[in-house]
Every structure is written in structure tokens, then in C-alpha cells.
Structure 1
Amino acid sequence: MSTLVISDLHVSVETDQGTKQILKGVDLTIEQGSIHAIMGPNGSGKSTLAYTIAGHPKYHVESGSITLDGAQVLDMTVDERARAGLFLAMQYPVEIPGVTVSNFLRTAKTALDGEAPALRGWVKEIRESMAALRMDKTFAERNVNEGFSGGEKKRHEILQLELLKPTFAILDETDSGLDVDALKIVSEGVNRAKANTGLGVLLITHYTRILRYIKPDFVHVFVDGRVAEEGGPELAERLENEGYDRFLADASVG
């Protein structure tokens, strides 16, 4: 079983006002096959953690480490991180005009595996995954995220997840902008990927509604760039009832 370990991670970004520290000493250990939910108010560092793991150049790691089975992730390029088994479903997926979904997916799979997938089996796999995600078959010939609705963008992210079969998936607010039906379909896709491959999940969200469908093993509350509290699924229920006020009050006092 693979393990992703984040140790004493400090991360900053450059702003118009100068350098701003976002993460202020984050520690997390994620075992393959487990689901960790990260919750917290806006600006608490949740997305910063996601993009730092993925290797976004905007985020500067001041100190700390991220290791995958003992290998230093921070020394890897973005494509090396992907080949090592890390996957990011972005909160705001970008459009890629002129590149169809089918070409994008096959190119990504080829880059990860070092060889192109056998065409007949690959086409069958795409069709089955799209059907499970309630995606029309014409979707494969549309340009990546161009003119997609919010729900279509999120389903496409989960389609990638199912086909590329990473070891760990970071899902950055995958529930944002989804109606109830789309939320159920996307959640089913995540659960299916976990059941089929033993996927480890780092699920970033503001709200507990997605946790009704994707059951977390652990919940971590982020406030002001730190993990303010940790617990099991019951912590999410407590946040649903109480909100983040007490954590914010503690942060302001601190």
C-alpha cells in the first residue's frame, strides 16, 4: 500500500503586496485506499495544498516535505508526479481549444504508461466510463472543457480519474456548482475508482453534502494555513451544525 506523507509544509505565494505565507506547517499522512476530507473556510489554504502537491509553479515551498513511498515529490516535475500516481481534479478546469476529449485522454494515458493503449480495449473502456457517468457519446469529440457546463467539466475530471487510474487523487472542490443529480453521479465515479483501484482520496470541500455520498475515513479542518482539528466523519457533522466560527475565533486570538 502506498503512502503520501506531508510533513511540516510551509508554502507562500507572491502577491501585489509582497510575499504571503499561506500554509504554516501542515502535517498529513494519507494511506492508499483511505478517504481524507479537508474542510475549512475560504482562504484557509485548502486549494494551496492541492496545487502544491500537483506542482503548480505559483506556489513556493519554504520548508517541509511531501513524500510518496519515501520519494521526495517536491523534487519531481509535474509530469513525474503524474507518472508517480498523483492526480489533481481542479476546481476550475481550463479549456483546451482544438483538442478533443478523446485525443486528450489517449495522449494522457500514453504519457503516463509510456506506450499507447490498445485501441479497441481503450475505446471500450472510455465508452463504459462515459456511460457510467451519464455522458453522451458525442462528448468524446468535443474540445476539452470548451463550452462545457460546470457539471460537464466535473464529470470530465472524474472520467480522467477512472481512465488514468492514479494512486492518489486530490479533488479540489469537485462538488462546487453541481446540482444534486450531478453530485451523485460524480460521487459514484469517485467511489467506483476507489473500489476498482484502491485509490487514496484527498477531498477538499466547504460543505458536507458531498460527504453523504463519499464517506470520509478522516476529516481535517483547515484554518489560517494549519490543521486546526482532526477527527472522523462525526467531525464533518459537527461542522454542519456549528460552522467554522469557533475555529476562526481561536485563530484570531492566536
Structure 2
Amino acid sequence: MAKELIIKDLHVNVDDKEIIKGVNLTIRQGEVHAIMGPNGSGKSTLSNTIMGHPRYTVTSGDIIFDGESIVGLSADRRARRGLFLAFQYPMAVPGVSVSNFLRTALTNIRKGDVTQEIKPQNLDVQGDRPLYEKETTKAKVGGDGANIDRKKKEMLIKPAEFRKILNEKLALLQMDSKYTKRYLNDGFSGGEKKRLEVLQMAVLSPKIAFLDEPDSGLDIDAIKVVGSGVQALKGPEMGIVIITHQQRILTYLKPDFVHVMMQGLVVKEGGPELADQIEEGGYAWIREEFGLQVTAEEEREEVELNVN
């Protein structure tokens, strides 16, 4: 049976200001959803809240995944349950290779937290191997004095198993293996960062994956590459949620459902044709239909849509 993520009458505050004002949404494995809306509508706040970002406070409502409320769970525990968020602005981590990061992340998702935190000083960047994988039985990881003992070292996914998984996903996404030897997002172009987020999604194989503005700042060729990569991962085991304010990426990744957010609410829902209508006419007609006043941020966004 497909796992469900159910958002029930969700209200969320950020710094004591209500941003999400009663969102209801159901997402199942195997479905592709697009959450659209102008800047400031609450799209990214919704995804960050679902993933457990501590800045976002759920004041009422619920987030239910696989039949259980996850509102009280930390972000890492939500990730282990099968949720994933690709960030709009991924951070660079010099000194940590992509392959090292992915192997550690996959281990943490599958087997529990074997490292306190991935930091360059905790890794053997020369040999592209974590210190706790070396011959010593213990190595300090993180800044709190925590140690990784032999038992936890043995929990790390074996190199051969990881290489097999990684090579399969690289082939699926038509990515060069040289990509994984570079440091995490260090010197990456915007398109490369977005492709890496898709590779992470492929390796971790979440039940429900959120991609926050995967087309942000990309030219049309890069959007095609990223959109086609996500399309390649589409299947019955993964629900995909694309958060975007423009329709372009949806040319390469057709959604089953489109939800339009404005001013903290889902105001309109439909199929892929709704995204086409937004591309053609912007958001003004939806705002007019529901009697919503345009905000200054939305007005700037409307101009950008019409120019592009």
C-alpha cells in the first residue's frame, strides 16, 4: 500500500508571524505534485515545516506520514522515515567529496546516525574516506567529544555496495562519475548544484521528495537537464513534489496534480492544465477569482513572469 503524507489544516508561524494559514494536502507515493504560487505565498515555508526546520512553528493542525503524526519529530528522524527536501540554495562544503557525503548520508538514513555531523575536519579528504573507516577503532567526530566505536564503524555501508548503488543512479541520470569526486557544491554552477540534489534524491530513494525551486536561476538547457533527471526517478515508490513559481520545469516533468498557494493558503487545485493556464495568464486571474489583493512581493513576481 502506498504511503501517504497528509497535511491537515496546517497553521505555521515564523518569528511570531503566521505564514501558513490552514493548508490541507495529501501526497502519495507514485504521484507527482506541483505547488505553484508567487513569491511570498508560503511554498518554501510549507516544505521546510514538513521537514522539521526548527525556525518554523506549527501552531495548529497536523502533518501525518504513514499513519503517524511527525510534528514532534526532528528533521533527521523525518528523513529516516522517508522524507526528503532538495534545497533551493544548497550550501557548499569544501573538503567533503560528493561520494563521501552520499555514502555517509545513505548510511544515516538506513541505519541511524553514525556520525555527529559531516565536517571537513572529520574526514580523510586525501583518501576520500571518513576517519572512522580507518584502522583505528575510535575517532572523534563533531565538536562535542562524541566517539565512533568499532560497532558503529561496521554499520557504514560497505564500499562495494555503495559503489553499485551510486553507479546505477549515475547511469540513470546520465551523469559522469567524475562529478562524485569533487567537493560538495564547491565551485559548482547553479545547474550542477541542482543536479547533485537530484542525485542525492536518487541515492537516498525517499518515499516522498520535495524539490524547492529546482529551476531557480537556471537557463532553459539546465532546466531541461534537471527536469529530465527528476522524470527519470518517477515511479511507484516515490512521491515527488515540485515547488515552483513558473511552469517551465513542468514541461519536462508532468505533474498529476497542481496546487496554487497564495497568502498562506492553497486557493486552487487541478491537473497539469492549470500550470499551462498560469504560464499563459500569470496569477492575476486566480487572485481575482478568489478576491485576493496583490502584495508588493507578488506584484514584482507578476512583472517578472510577464517579462520572461
TM-score by length of 2: 0.77
For residues 228-243 of structure 1, the aligned pairs below 5 Å read 228-243=267-282
Residue 222 in 1 paired to residue 261 in 2? yes
What per-residue deviation string (whole Å, max 9, x for no partner) do you get for residues 106-136 of structure 1? 0001111114333223213323433443443
Contact 1:46 1:222 in 2 (8 A): yes
Residue 58 in 1 paired to residue 98 in 2? no
What per-residue deviation string (whole Å, max 9, x for no partner) do you get for residues 50-77 of structure 1? 1001111111111111000111111111
For residues 70-219 of structure 1, the aligned pairs below 5 Å read 70-114=67-111, 115-195=155-235, 198-219=237-258
Secondary structure of the residue aligned to 1:57 is: coil
Aligned to 2:9: 8
Consecutive unaligned residues in structure 1, runs of 5 or more:
none
Aligned to 1:251: 292
Which of 5, 24, 28 in structure 2 is aligned with 1:27?
Answer: 24
What per-residue deviation string (whole Å, max 9, x for no partner) do you get for residues 210-233 of structure 1? 111111111111000001111111
Amino acid at match of 2:196: H
Contact 1:130 1:137 in 2 (8 A): yes
Contact 1:134 1:185 in 2 (8 A): no
Amino acid at match of 2:167: R
Aligned to 2:119: none
When the two chains are superposed, the root-mean-square deviation of aligned CA atoms in Å is 1.6
What per-residue deviation string (whole Å, max 9, x for no partner) do you get for residues 116-175 of structure 1? 333223213323433443443332122211111101100000000101000000110111
Measured after TM superposition, the shift of residue 40 of structure 1 is 0.5
Residue 45 in 1 paired to residue 51 in 2? no
Contact 1:162 1:189 in 2 (8 A): no
Secondary structure of the residue aligned to 1:28 is: strand
What CA distance in whole angstroms lies between the structure 2 residues aligned with 1:27 and 1:224?
Answer: 14
Secondary structure of the residue aligned to 1:75 is: coil
What per-residue deviation string (whole Å, max 9, x for no partner) do you get for residues 3-59 of structure 1? 000011111111xxxx22110000000111111111000100000001001111111
Q: For structure 1, which segment, 130-139 or 34-43, has the greater mean C-alpha deviation from structure 2 after superposition?
A: 130-139
Contact 2:93 2:185 in 1 (8 A): yes
How many residue pairs are counted as aligned between the two chains? 248
Identity level (%): 54
What CA distance in whole angstroms lies between the structure 1 residues aligned with 2:244 and 2:25?
Answer: 16
Aligned to 2:64: 67
Secondary structure of the residue aligned to 1:117 is: coil
Consecutive unaligned residues in structure 2, runs of 5 or more:
112-154, 295-308
Amino acid at match of 1:171: L
What CA distance in whole angstroms lies between the structure 2 residues aligned with 1:145 and 1:251?
Answer: 40
Secondary structure of the residue aligned to 2:27 is: strand
What CA distance in whole angstroms lies between the structure 2 residues aligned with 1:154 and 1:133?
Answer: 12
What CA distance in whole angstroms lies between the structure 2 residues aligned with 1:25 and 1:39?
Answer: 16
* Deviant stretches of 4+, over 6 Å: none
